[in-house]
Amino acid sequence: MFNAPLLKTINDVNTPYYYYDTKVLVDTLNALNKASVSKNYHVHYAMKANSNIPILNLIKEHNIGIDCVSGNELTLALKEGFEASKIAFAGVGKTDDEINLAIEHDILSINCESIQEIQVINELAQLQNKVANISIRINPDLDAGTHPNITTGTQLNKFGISVETLDLAIDICKDLRHVNLNGIHFHIGSQIRSEMPYVQLCKKVNTIVKSLLSKGVNLDVVNLGGGLGINYNDPDSEMIPNFENFFSIFSDNLSLPKNISVHFELGRSIVGQCGSLITKTLFTKGNDLKQFVIVDAGMTELMRPALYNSFHKIQNLSSTKPAKMYEVVGPICETTDTFDKQVLLPETVRGDFLVIRSVGAYGEVMASNYNLRVKPLAYYSLN
């Protein structure tokens, strides 16, 4: 439920702002740990979803590792005390500086996305007189059926090394003395709400692992990425994703030797539901076709609706009048700066506070300064 006591303080802070319910986050982390520890699965938090320090700290306290995708994320993870042995580093275009940083800190794995990248890591590790732990990110050519802008696992996407090129990559690794290929990595997409793509992934992983072991590759780590979706339509009915169910898909369908550790990189499912965006109604206006509610948050604070046409539940925190149909839009000079074209809200007037729900993941991190706007502040519940 959206935390009602916030209404008492709402007039004291400038909107728009992000509000994080840390109880929801802690409950989510406890559920995640309960479900993963029993299966001996290792979880890395995909910090691209939200890199706010209080959130990272709560995640670290729950003994979860990190998945990062830039040198700055890696630096922040190390600064906040995440153990290097629990950090995976992905990304299709890592710079030499970023690779050097990862090698220097002996992280769990640099997830490599091309043969050229493996060769560059080898050269850079040689200069540091080190051996870098690497995983190969395999593109399983599998369509997870999510929004095309967040699908990653098909051959049309830029990510990973194709199954056809894998043998060549392994042969090359065998000749390189400064990389230690000890894992494979997959990530098929995001906001996945059905089991089938994961079942298909497991089947592909079983075949690939068997083949790699028969070729003498020493596999310690199989990293299956993230992607577990959340309930955007009705967040209150599912504030905590069903992690038990998610991990069961893998324990039911993976058949791997016991010495291989299974890892996941979950982002959205960990932080998505704990975050809300609070915004104030600036103006209302209407014509014969529609009624607009113009709020002070825009695509600069929450880009997901403009970028992916994604749905976020909107509620009016100030009014209990009879409902009317509205189009809720932001102040930015772009037609796509629209949060929802058809939302039933209690009759809304200038000054009413609205909450945009389920924005803990890929909300604040994707905010921009477009139109010279100032990035929103974040507030946390005191639990």
Which C-beta is closer to ligand LLP: that of 163 or that of 349?
Answer: 163
| Residue selected from 21, 265, 296, 364 as contacting ligand LLP according to rule CB under 6 A | 265
Binding track, positions 60-79, relative to ligand LLP; x by CB under 6 A? -------x------------
Interface with ligand LLP includes 226 (CB under 6 A)? Answer: yes
Tokens 């994080």 belong to 20
Tokens of 228: 């577990």
37, 244 in Cβ contact below 8 A? no
- Dist. CA 286–CA 273, nearest whole Å: 32
Report which of 228, 288, 295, 218 is spatially closest to residue 260, judged by C-alpha positions.
218
Packing angle of the helix pair 196-214, 243-253 (nearest 10 deg): 40
Kindly tell me the burial class for residue 141, based on how many C-beta atoms sit within 10 Å of its own C-beta (0-12, 13-18, 19 or more): middle
| Residue selected from 60, 86, 178, 268 as contacting ligand LLP according to rule CB under 6 A | 268
Stretch that binds ligand LLP, among 7-15, 187-195, 313-321, 342-350 (CB under 6 A): 187-195
Neighbours of 148 (CB within 10 A): 11
Nearest 5°: the CA angle 51, 365, 21 is 65
| Residue selected from 239, 362, 373, 376 as contacting ligand LLP according to rule CB under 6 A | 362
Interface with ligand LLP includes 86 (CB under 6 A)? Answer: no
| Residue selected from 16, 160, 225, 376 as contacting ligand LLP according to rule CB under 6 A | 225
Interface with ligand LLP includes 266 (CB under 6 A)? Answer: yes
Interface with ligand LLP includes 150 (CB under 6 A)? Answer: yes
Stretch that binds ligand LLP, among 1-9, 118-126, 185-193, 199-207 (CB under 6 A): 185-193
Binding-residue total with ligand LLP (CB under 6 A) = 21
Report the half-sphere exposure of 324 (CA within 13 A, side-chain side).
15
Which C-beta is closer to ligand LLP: that of 213 or that of 365?
Answer: 365
* Pairing of β 109-112 and β 161-162: unpaired
Which C-beta is closer to ligand LLP: that of 17 or that of 362?
Answer: 362
- Dist. CA 23–CA 19, nearest whole Å: 12
Which C-beta is closer to ligand LLP: that of 199 or that of 325?
Answer: 199
Binding track, positions 88-117, relative to ligand LLP; x by CB under 6 A? --x---------------------------
Interface with ligand LLP includes 241 (CB under 6 A)? Answer: no
Tokens of 144: 């997870």
18, 276 in Cβ contact below 8 A? yes
Stretch that binds ligand LLP, among 100-108, 172-180, 225-233, 344-352 (CB under 6 A): 225-233
125-131: long-range pairs with CB below 8 Å, 24+: 125/178, 125/179, 126/177, 126/178, 128/100, 128/103, 128/104, 130/103, 130/104, 130/106, 130/178, 131/177, 131/178, 131/179, 131/180
Tokens 């982390």 belong to 29
Stretch that binds ligand LLP, among 27-35, 176-184, 266-274, 290-298 (CB under 6 A): 266-274
Non-local (6+) Cβ contacts of 117 within 8 A are: 94
Closest distance of CB 27 from ligand LLP, Å = 18
| Residue selected from 24, 25, 35, 49 as contacting ligand LLP according to rule CB under 6 A | 49
Interface with ligand LLP includes 138 (CB under 6 A)? Answer: no
Stretch that binds ligand LLP, among 173-181, 201-209, 241-249, 262-270 (CB under 6 A): 262-270
Q: Which residues bind ligand LLP (CB under 6 A)?
A: 46, 49, 67, 90, 150, 187, 190-191, 225-228, 265-269, 304, 308, 361-362
